[in-house]
Amino acid sequence: MMNVLLCFGTRPEWLKIKPLTKVLDNYELLFTGQHTDLLDKVKTDHVIDLKDFGNRLDSIIINCLNQFPSGKFDSVLVQGDTASAFACALAAFHRGMKIYYLEAGLRTYNLNHPYPEEGYRQMISRLSDVNFCPTQLSMDNLLHELVKGDSHVVGNTVLDNLNSYKDKCEYQNKVLVTLHRRENHVIIDRWFRQINKLAKDNLNIEFIFPLHPNPKVQKYKHLLTHVNILDSLPHPMLLDILCKCKLVITDSGGLQEEGSFLNKKVIVCRKTTERPEGKKSGHIYLCKKPEQLNEMFTDLIKSFSVKAKCPYGDGNSSIKISDIINENF
């Protein structure tokens, strides 16, 4: 029976790996060290010690390569677009191990947006033997790039966590806001001013903002005088708010998928998105500049519901992936 090493180091990675732990018979967990609070919640088999090599990205890659475990596993599964995902894929490649890549094929085709994630995505898919793609478009990207590994459309595993929430959704006078991406750090004050203006001009709507702990985000929280600021929330509590809100304002990739699955419209505060399927289905609206936010919000809050099918999966992705892994053994 194949034993798979599942690699994760951040909360978003764990949310997408977790559904697989419920359906795979044989696996080990490797924690790559970024979000250390996960060690209190998840029982892991292997842990990378993130020793400091000066630059954080360098440190993650060097430590993952140096400390990649040996064990009774014959394949590795990595998820997403972090430095650690790339390092684990590279370590497995050096050892001649089979590599499964979860959430493969997402592309902006701009190496600077998002940086460095877009580069990692492209490199990991080249190293992987099997690419698990969330959508047909993401698989088409790999076919267009002549990526040689096997590719399968399976949906996104993060939606497997949401099946129990599907029937709880409603539309209260609430807006969920999250902003944290590196590309927005240099203009985070402009985003905050626009969000606060929306809250001030729409006092009948509660703007709920679980604030990311990054100091570059926290630095400008004093600008959010009319916003309900919360500490970073556990995922179930975030989903409870998502279920009740009318609209989402975010730069998060996961919330684009989760909001779409729960029939919410999502304003994406970025210059581009690697999840363009939601734009076509009417779930996602790209806001490229803070100064465009007011007009977009005013239009969308008038017709906040969306009836189209979620383009990112049906909530059963982990089962499809497990079947493919078993067939590959």
CATH number where 236 lies: 3.40.50.2000
Domain-embedded: residue 82? yes
C-alpha span between 195 and 190 (Å, rounded): 9
Q: Please tell me whether residues 172 and 35 are part of one structural domain.
A: no
Domain-embedded: residue 305? no
Q: Please tell me whether residues 317 and 259 are part of one structural domain.
A: no
pLDDT at 328: 75
Q: Please tell me whether residues 18 and 49 are part of one structural domain.
A: yes
Note down the domain range covering 72: 4-156+313-328
pLDDT at 329: 66
Q: Say how many domains are in the chain.
A: 2
pTM for the complete prediction? 0.90
Domain-embedded: residue 307? no
C-alpha span between 289 and 107 (Å, rounded): 21
Domain-embedded: residue 275? yes
* CA dihedral sign, ordered 154, 30, 256, 236: positive
- For the stretch 8-29, pLDDT in tens is 999 999 999 999 999 999 999 9
Percent of the residues in the chain that have a pLDDT greater than 90, as a whole number:
84
Domain-embedded: residue 106? yes
Instruction: Check whether 211 has a pLDDT greater than 90.
Output: yes
Q: Please tell me whether residues 47 and 139 are part of one structural domain.
A: yes
Q: What is the mean pLDDT of residues 112-136?
A: 96
Tokens describing residue 190: 């402009």
Q: Please tell me whether residues 133 and 243 are part of one structural domain.
A: no
Q: Please tell me whether residues 56 and 109 are part of one structural domain.
A: yes
pLDDT at 57: 86
C-alpha span between 58 and 15 (Å, rounded): 25
Q: Please tell me whether residues 127 and 193 are part of one structural domain.
A: no
Q: What is the mean pLDDT of residues 181-191?
A: 95
- Model confidence at 189, pLDDT cuts 50, 70, 90, reads very high
- For the stretch 43-56, pLDDT in tens is 999 999 888 877 78
Q: What is the mean pLDDT of residues 154-175?
A: 94
Per DSSP, what are the bridge partners of residue 99?
76
- Model confidence at 281, pLDDT cuts 50, 70, 90, reads very high
Residue type, 157: T
Instruction: Check whether 1 has a pLDDT greater than 70.
Output: no
Residue 248: in which H helix or E strand, if any? strand 247-250
Residue 46: in which H helix or E strand, if any? strand 46-47
